[in-house]
C-alpha cells in the first residue's frame, strides 16, 4: 500500500468522522413556524420579524436585551438575549435568532439583523394612491 494513501487517508477519514459526529452535535435547525419551536428542545435558528409595537427592552444592569418576534402566521415569541442590542436592529427587515426555547422564552445566543444593505436594492412599498 502506498504510504501517501495511508497517511492522507488516515487524516481524511479521522477528520471526516469527527466532522460527521460534530455535525450532528452542533446541528441547528431552521424554523420559520414559531408554534413548532415551543415543542422542540434543540438549537434552532428562527427567522421572523420584530414586533415593533411591543418595542424592545434593555436591562443594562443584567446585560439583557429582549424583544418580541413574530413569524409569517403572526405567532409571537419572546426573545431574550444576553448582550447589547445589535447594530441597526431598529431598521432590520427581518431578524434571525439562534438559540434554544426554554421556560416560555427563546434564549438567543446570536442575533442577526438583516437590513436593506449592500446586496439589496429593492425598495419595497405598497402602492397606495394618495
Partner 1 sequence: MAGNILITFALMASVFSIIMYYLTYKGNTNTLKFARIGYHATAISVIAASAFLLHAILTHQYQFNYVFNYSNSDLSTGMLMSTFWAGQEGSFMLWLLLTSISGLVLLEYTSKRGDLEERVMMIFTLAVAFLIVMVSPGLKNPFAFIWSDPTFIDVKNINQSFLSLPFLQEFMFSDQSTGQSLIKMNEQLVALLATKGISVDQFIVFGKGLNPLLNNFWMQIHPPMLFIGFSMATVPFAFAFAALIKNEYTDWVKQSLPWLLAGMMILGLAIMLGGYWAYNILGWGGYWGWDPVENSSLVPWIVGVAGIHTLLIQKKTQSDGSAGRFVKTNLILSIMTYLLVLYSTFLTRSGILGEASVHSFVAPGMMVYTLLIFFIGTFTLLGFGAIIYRWKYLEKTFTAEENVLSKELGIFTGAVALIASAIIIVSGTSAPIFGTAVELSFYNELALPIAIIMGILNGLSLLLRWKKTPEKSLLESLKIPTIISVIVTALIVFIGGINDFMAILFTLSAVFMLTVNIDVARKIIKGKKLFIGAYIAHVGIALFMLGVIATGWFSLEKQVKLEEGVTQNILGYDLTFNGFTPINNGQKYKFNIAVEKDGSSDVVSPVMYISSFNNSLMRDPDLLNKFTRDLYVSPVSYEEGSRNGTNNSAGTKVTIEKGKSTKFNNSVIKFTKFNFPADAMAAMQSGEDFFIGAQLEIEYNGKKYVSEPKMESRAGERSYVGTQITDANLNIEMLNLDASGKVELSLSQIDQADTEAAQEVSLASLWIEVSVKPFIILVWIGTLTMVLGFFISIIRRTKEANK
- Quick one: 38 or 58, whose CB is closer to partner 1? 58
Residue 72 touching partner 1 (CB under 8 A): no
The DSSP symbol for 85 reads P
Q: Would you give the end-to-end CA distance of the chain in angstroms?
A: 79
**Contacts of 32 by beta carbon, 8 Å cutoff, 6+ apart:** 46, 47, 48, 71, 72
Residue 45 neighbours by CB distance under 10 Å: 16
Q: Which of 58, 72, 73, 74 contacts partner 1 by CB under 8 A?
A: 58
Lay out the site mask for partner 1 across 5-34 (x = CB under 8 A, - = otherwise): --xx--xx--xx-xx--xx-xxxxxx----
| Lookup result for grid cell 426573545 | 79
Residue 115 touching partner 1 (CB under 8 A): yes
Residue 44 neighbours by CB distance under 10 Å: 20
Residue 53 touching partner 1 (CB under 8 A): no
- Quick one: 64 or 104, whose CB is closer to partner 1? 64
How many residues belong to the site for partner 1 (CB under 8 A)?
A: 55
**Residue 20, class by beta-carbon neighbours within 10 Å (0-12 exposed, 13-18 middle, 19+ buried)?**
exposed
Residue 128 touching partner 1 (CB under 8 A): yes
- Which residues of this protein are in contact with partner 1, per CB under 8 A? 2-4, 7-8, 11-12, 15-16, 18-19, 22-23, 25-30, 43, 45, 47, 58, 60-61, 63, 83-85, 87-93, 96, 98, 112, 114-123, 125-130
Amino acid at each position: 500500500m502506498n504510504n501517501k494513501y495511508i497517511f492522507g487517508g488516515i487524516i481524511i477519514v479521522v477528520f471526516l468522522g469527527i466532522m460527521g459526529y460534530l455535525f450532528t452535535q452542533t446541528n441547528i435547525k431552521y424554523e420559520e413556524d414559531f408554534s413548532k419551536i415551543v415543542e422542540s428542545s434543540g438549537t434552532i435558528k428562527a427567522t421572523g420579524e420584530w414586533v415593533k409595537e411591543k418595542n424592545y427592552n434593555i436591562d443594562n444592569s443584567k446585560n439583557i436585551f429582549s424583544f418580541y418576534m413574530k413569524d409569517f402566521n403572526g405567532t409571537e415569541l419572546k426573545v431574550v438575549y444576553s448582550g447589547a442590542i445589535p447594530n441597526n436592529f431598529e431598521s432590520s427587515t427581518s431578524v434571525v435568532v439562534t438559540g434554544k426555547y426554554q421556560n416560555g422564552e427563546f434564549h438567543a445566543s446570536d442575533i442577526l439583523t438583516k437590513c436593506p444593505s449592500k446586496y439589496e436594492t429593492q425598495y419595497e412599498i405598497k402602492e397606495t394612491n394618495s
